[in-house]
């Protein structure tokens, strides 16, 4: 009887451990939006990315994928973030200055995949291995009220990264960076 109870307890413990590992493995995709980008008189929005250094105490890559409001790729890049480091992006000059089509997007989405350091040291077009735990925040330029544009700041939302989503991000970025004559490549901002 004791062996059965011990076996059941070990199975339950194993299931719980797998659940924790599975949950941690999903802590790799962050998503947010930008609005009123490059609108006359509107301030610039900012994205901040940090590596808390808690999961692996190692360098990570923030693989950044920017889309317009029609879900078309705009720009992408991979940026190194060291443990306890902070990288700051300008939406206007780092994430939306060199768009794939040459048309600057005023609204859209930003997806960040926390990944292991790969090729150069961070190549968003191949060998992207999702690795927790990059964190990100963004300021949002709201619609004009009176003579001012209100600014809010929120943390990026966590999202589940499926194999299909990762494949689409990498393939879209590959096309954007490798096939578009130098367009569609964002820059890594400042810091770190």
**18 has a pLDDT exceeding 90:** no
Q: Which of 17-26, 107-116, 121-130 has the lowest mean pLDDT?
A: 17-26
* Integer Cα distance of 140 and 34 in angstroms: 6
pLDDT at 55: 58
* Integer Cα distance of 103 and 89 in angstroms: 19
* Integer Cα distance of 143 and 123 in angstroms: 35
**19 has a pLDDT exceeding 80:** no
Task: Please state the rounded mean pLDDT for residues 58-63.
Answer: 94
101 near 12, Cβ under 8 Å? no
**CATH number of the 26-191 domain:** 2.60.290.11
pLDDT at 3: 42
* Integer Cα distance of 161 and 158 in angstroms: 9
Give the tokens for residue 53: 């250094």
Nearest CA to 99 among 3, 187, 8, 184? 184
Residues of the chain with pLDDT > 90, as a percent, come to 72
**32 has a pLDDT exceeding 50:** yes
Q: Where are the domains of the chain?
A: 26-191
**101 has a pLDDT exceeding 80:** yes
Mean pLDDT of the chain: 86
61 near 118, Cβ under 8 Å? yes
């Amino acid at each position: 009887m004791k062996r059965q109870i011990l076996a059941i307890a070990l199975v339950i413990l194993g299931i719980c451990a797998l659940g924790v590992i599975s949950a941690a493995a999903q802590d790799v995709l962050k998503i947010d939006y930008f609005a009123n980008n490059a609108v006359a008189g509107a301030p610039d929005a900012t994205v901040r990315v940090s590596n808390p250094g808690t999961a692996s105490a190692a360098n990570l890559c923030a693989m950044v994928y920017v889309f317009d409001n029609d879900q078309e790729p705009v720009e992408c890049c991979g940026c190194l973030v060291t443990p306890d480091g902070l990288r700051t992006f300008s939406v206007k000059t780092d994430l939306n200055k060199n768009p794939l089509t040459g048309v600057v997007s005023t609204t859209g989405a930003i997806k960040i995949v926390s990944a292991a350091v790969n090729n150069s040291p961070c190549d968003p077009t191949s060998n992207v291995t999702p690795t927790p735990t990059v964190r990100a925040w963004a300021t949002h330029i709201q619609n004009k009220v009176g003579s001012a544009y209100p600014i809010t700041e929120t943390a990026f939302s966590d999202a589940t990264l499926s194999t299909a989503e990762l494949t689409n991000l990498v393939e879209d970025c590959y096309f954007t960076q490798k096939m578009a004559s130098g367009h569609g490549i964002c820059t890594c901002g400042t810091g770190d």
